Amino acid sequence: MKKYCLGLFAVASMQLFTSLPGHACTDFRLKAQDGTLLITRSMEFGQDLKSNLRSSPRGRQFSSMAPNGKPGLNWKAKYGYLYLDGFGVNASFDGMNEHGLSFEYLYLPGETQYQSAPEGKEAQALSYFMFGDWVLSNFKTIDEVKQALLGIYVVQQLLPQLGEAILPAHASIYDASGKGIVVEFYNNQINVDENIGIMTNSPKYNWQVTNLRNYLNLSATNANPITQNGITYPATGQGSGAIGLPGDASPPSRFVKTAFMVHNVDPANNSTDLLNLAQHIINNVDLPAGYVRAIENGKTLSDTTEWVVFKDISHKIFYYRTYNDMTLRSIDMAKIDFSEGATPLKMPLVMPPYVMDVTGQLLKTKG
């Protein structure tokens, strides 16, 4: 796994976002036998993000601020994209652009330290909250992103919507070829790791990948019976080859379990089968209300899987579902107007639950 360390600069002091439980997001990449690539991501949080699905056209102007109040990085969008916002802030937590480049922010508490721009370099300062928009609006490929990271400083920005706290995060980025990187901010640097196709939360990404070595003995194949002193001891039920596979909701356990499943499942034939397979995998880390919680100041805060996104980066189709409605909804990006001057679109992500009543169809049938 290659690592790149970019830009050694002083870390800005920050108040970390600690008023909520662990925010257990999970991300993985799948490829079908026909070449279709699908990026799946769950968003878990301890409060309602009130996310909207938005479009951003080409030509949109962006202006960031440096920590000292001076103007920061300014740019004009080269590409259009779809994205999900949160906290009432019009910024990308997750998205895909018209060329299949995918961006996702996942929580990374206890590890993240954003940079500060050196004096005279304020024009290269980019708020961490605008990092997703910068990636999605400017680049087609991972190589382009990596090169551009050499010329920016990702800095903190205090937002009233977060109670002046800082949201510690790391980013998972893929291009349409399936190539991916993980971008983290620590040790006064922008740290770029090769993405193996799995990502969760803390600890740092390189630790999570190394931790997989503790589970090399696991197998999707059932254990063979053992005979000792004339007595044969068969395995107890299916899945005996994977005894020891973590099953809790902590980030290291979700990383290992998701990696095990992605590595061992039968490959999907096409985009339809791939979408179905991704749902089965992500369901293994779904969080119902109350399953993961923290008690702070006498108040119980519970993580839930607020929404899940499935991004077909080969065919540019954006699928999603929400906690209250597991029905899949899709957006065909080819039908969205991303031309310069196009009206940005905005739609609440959460909709009333949908259940299909098939009683009428049953009544028309004969046994």
* For residue 203, cis peptide bond before it (omega within 30 degrees of 0): yes
CATH number of the domain where residue 345 is located:
3.60.60.10
How big is the CA angle at 265 (ends 259 and 267), to the nearest 5 degrees? 115
Q: What is the pLDDT of residues 243-296, one digit of tens each?
A: 999 999 999 999 999 999 999 999 999 999 999 999 999 999 999 999 998 888
Band of pLDDT at residue 28, cut at 50, 70 and 90: very high
Residue 34 has a CB neighbour count (10 Å cut-off) of 12
Mind giving me the DSSP string for 200-243? -SSS-HHHHHHHGGGGTT--SSPPPPEEETTEEE--SSTTGGGT
Mind giving me the DSSP string for 284-331? GG---TTSEEEEETTEEEEEEEEEEEEEETTTTEEEEEETTEEEEEEE
Residue 89 lies in a domain: yes
> What is the tally of structural domains in the chain?
1
Residue 270 lies in a domain: no
| 3-state SS, residue 142 | helix
Strands 26-31 vs 37-45: parallel, antiparallel or unpaired? antiparallel
C-alpha 367/C-alpha 362 separation (Å) is: 10
Please choose, from the candidates 52, 50, 308, 301, the residue with its C-alpha nearest in 3D space to the C-alpha of residue 161.
50
Residue 304 lies in a domain: yes
Band of pLDDT at residue 9, cut at 50, 70 and 90: very low
Alpha carbon 206 to chain centroid distance?
17
Alpha carbon 286 to chain centroid distance?
14
Residue 221 lies in a domain: no
Residue 11 per-residue DSSP state? B
Q: Region 188-201: what's the mean pLDDT?
A: 97
Residue 118 lies in a domain: yes
Q: Which residue has the tokens 């202006």?
A: 63
Sequence-separated (6 or more) residues with CB below 8 Å from residue 245:
215, 218, 256, 257, 260
At residue 22, does pLDDT exceed 70?
Answer: no
Residue 73 lies in a domain: yes
Band of pLDDT at residue 18, cut at 50, 70 and 90: very low
Residue 225 lies in a domain: no
Please choose, from the candidates 175, 132, 187, 126, the residue with its C-alpha nearest in 3D space to the C-alpha of residue 152.
126
Residue 158 lies in a domain: yes
**183 burial via Cβ count (<10 Å: 0-12, 13-18, 19+):** buried
DSSP run (H or E) holding 268: none
C-alpha 24/C-alpha 132 separation (Å) is: 19
| 3-state SS, residue 25 | coil
Residue 145 per-residue DSSP state? H
Q: What is the pLDDT of residues 133-190, one digit of tens each?
A: 999 999 999 999 999 999 999 999 888 877 778 999 999 999 999 999 999 999 889 9
Residue 257 per-residue DSSP state? H
User: What's residue 190's pLDDT?
Assistant: 98
Please choose, from the candidates 89, 39, 79, the residue with its C-alpha nearest in 3D space to the C-alpha of residue 55.
79
Supply the range of the domain harboring residue 305. 3-204+289-363
